[in-house]
Structure 1
Amino acid sequence: MTDRLITHLRHIDLAVPDHAKQLDFFTGTWGLTAEHSDTGLTFLAAEGSPEHYVVRLRQADDKRTDLIAFGAASDADVDTLAARLAGNGVRLVSEPAALQTPGGGYGFRFFDNEGRTIEVSSGVGVRTHRKIAEGESIPVRLSHVVVNSASPEETRAWYERHLGFALTDTLMHPRMGEMMWFMRINSWHHSLAFARGPHPSLHHASFELRGIDEYMRGTGRLLRAGVEKIWGPGRHLAGNNTFSYFLDPHGNTVEYTTELEQIDEDTWHPHLYDFSNPEVADQWGTANQMNEFVAQKSFNDPDRGLFTAPPV
């Protein structure tokens, strides 16, 4: 594992054919705030987060994940990481430069081993944010992103080698073997995870709520609005976080969660959890059963953006 030069997850950028419909869902139902909008391009903030945006929506002919963005501590670390990646044969999309997105900063983009566009930046301005009130069931921050991978062992090794991610826990199944790897870049149990899937795609994006009451209120609001629930509400063993998974209007899975575990990295030893044990999937026993039909909902469509950088 290389030394870490990235510090945290910043945002996920999505391209969708129906920008207006997706925007209405994220603002009117999910609880994000639209800012800095332009024609066919919207930056969505979480009211409790210092990030200028946690989701960017772009109108496009094809649904795709435009990029996943991470932060770095300094411009020097951005330069060091860019040089290191280029020296190791990683294909850069752009060289380090001033960012032209809300909050500014200094960053660059590159492709990971499966062709996802990744951005790393530093010096991004802090958004004026606030403490989410008791009972207010809107996202506080972007918690984590999980991607499907056709070669998850290789993808895990790539992120460990090049970006300094560390394995926190692994899920396995007696019939399918190892199936999900939770990866951390700081003390949060995971900021990124890799799921074994038929093709590279977004598995889900997860948003942290204030607490258990707000998480349940948010879950209920989505159910009352008729949004399709995939799985939940429940509480995972790995990460000890709550979960309610829903489908957005374009078939992407989005999650409400809270109380994701923070670990002591100096003493942590990864677990191998058997997903066929019901308490591994859901400690509470309140969620619908996870089976192959439920799992397929999060396979998502094959990502149309692999090794193709977004235009903005």
Structure 2
Amino acid sequence: MNERLITHLRHVDLAVPDYDKQLEFYTTMWGLEPTVTDGGIAFLAAAGSPEQYSVRLRKAAEKRLDLIAFGAATPADVDALAERLGADGVPLVGEPGKMQTPGGGYGFRFFDCDGRTVEVSCDVDVRAHRKLEEGEAVPVKLSHVVINSPNPEQNVAFYEKHLGFALSDTLMHPRMGSMMWFLRTNRWHHSLAIARGPHVALHHASFEMRGIDEYMRGTGRLLRGGVEKVWGPGRHLAGNNTFSYFLDPHGNTIEYTTELEELDEDSWHPHLYDFSDPAVSDQWGTANPMNEFVAKQSFNDPDRGIFVAPPV
């Protein structure tokens, strides 16, 4: 594993045909704040996050995952990572340079081994943010992103070797083998996870809430609003975090969570959890069972953006 130059998760960018419907959902129902909306592009911030935005929406003819963005500490680290990736034959979308997105900064983009676009940046302006109040059931920040891959072992090796991610835990099934790998780039249990799936796609994006009460209030708001629930509410064993999964208007699975585990990286040893045990999927036993419906929704549609960088 190379030296870790990635510091944290920044944002997830989605392209959607029905842009107006998606924008309405993420702002009025999901609880994100529009910071810039212009010409079919919307940058949506989480109230408690210093990141300029946690979700970017782009109007497009086809639904796709545009990119996943991570942070680095310094321009020297960005340059070193770009040089390392290029030397290892990883295709770069462009060389490091000035960012044209809100908050500016310095960064570059590349394709991972499945062809999804990944962005790394530093020196992005800190957004004015605040501590959420008791009972305020809107996202504090983007917690983690999970991706589907038909070649998950190759992806895990890619992110470990090239980006310095570390394995926290693995989920397995007696009949299907290893199914999900949780990867961290700081003390949080995971900022990225890779799931075995039939095609390359977004599995889900997860948003941290202030606490259990706010997590439940947000879950209830979506249920009352008629948003389709996929799975939850419950509490996972891997990561020890709560979960409520819903579908956005374009069929992407998104999650409210809280209390993701913080690890002592010096002493942590990865677990291999058997998720045929119901207590592994949900320690509380309150969620609907993990079944074919839940799995199918999380597979999502095949990603149309493989090895095609987004235009902006």
Q: What TM-score do you get using the length of structure 1 for normalisation?
A: 1.00
Partner of 2:63: 63
| Secondary structure of 1:52 counterpart | coil
Look up the SS of the partner of 1:148 in the other structure: strand
Distance 2:198 2:264 in 1: 34
Q: Indicate the residue corresponding to 2:51 in structure 1.
A: 51
- Alpha-carbon shift at residue 291 of structure 1 (Å): 0.8
Query: Which secondary structure state, in structure 1, belongs to the residue aligned with residue 279 of structure 2?
Result: helix
CA shift, 1:36, in A, is: 1.3
Question: Partner of 1:144 in structure 2?
Answer: 144
Paired position in structure 1 for 2:210: 210
1:68-79 equivalences in 2 (<5 Å):
68-79=68-79
Structure 2 residue aligned with 1:305: 305
Letter in 1 for 2:242: T
Residue 311 of structure 1 and its aligned partner are, at CA, apart by: 0.2
Residue 303 of structure 1 deviates from its aligned partner by: 0.3
Q: Unpaired runs of 5+ in structure 2?
A: none
1: CA distance, partners of 2:47 / 2:104: 19
| 1:108 alignment partner in structure 2 | 108
Match of 2:131 in 1: 131
The one-letter code of the counterpart of 2:16 is V
Q: Which amino acid aligns with 2:56?
A: R
CA distance in 2 between partners of 1:32 and 1:196 (Å): 29
- Rounded Cα–Cα distance in structure 2 between residues aligned with 1:72 and 1:157: 20
- Aligned-residue offset at 1:293: 2.1
Distance 1:269 1:86 in 2: 31
- Rounded Cα–Cα distance in structure 2 between residues aligned with 1:203 and 1:149: 9
Partner of 2:58, secondary structure, is strand
What is the aligned partner in structure 1 of residue 238 from structure 2?
238
- 1:94 Cα deviation from its structure 2 partner: 1.0
Matched positions, count:
312
Q: How far apart are 1:37 and its partner, in Å? A: 1.0
Q: Give how far 1:167 is off.
A: 0.4
Alignment-mate amino acid for residue 261 of structure 1: E
**2:247 is matched with which residue?**
247
Which position in structure 2 is the counterpart of 1:92? Answer: 92
Is the partner of 2:95 in helix, strand or coil? strand
SS in structure 2 at match of 1:251: coil
Show the counterpart of 2:296. Answer: 296
Structure 1 unpaired stretches of 5+: none
The alpha-carbon deviation at position 244 of structure 1 amounts to 0.1
Quote the offset at 1:292 in angstroms: 1.7
- For residues 2-58 of structure 1, give each alpha carbon's deviation from its aligned partner in whole angstroms, at most 9, with x where no partner exists: 110110000000000011000000001000001111010000000000000000000
Any residues of structure 2 matched to 1:136-215 within 5 Å, and which? 136-215=136-215
1:268 is paired with a residue whose SS is coil
With normalisation by structure 2, the TM-score equals: 1.00
**In the TM superposition, what whole-angstrom CA distance separates every residue of 1:163-221 from its partner, at most 9, and x where no partner exists?**
00010000001111100000000000000000000001000000000000000000000
Alignment of 1:14-53 (within 5 A): 14-53=14-53
Q: Which residue identity does 1:185 align to in structure 2?
A: T
Measure the CA separation in 2 of the matches of 1:90 and 1:175.
34
CA distance in 2, matches of 1:221, 1:52: 26
Deviations 1:119-153 (A, max 9, x none): 00000000000001100000000000000001000
- Cα RMSD (Å) of the superposition? 0.4
What residue in structure 1 maps to residue 226 of structure 2? 226
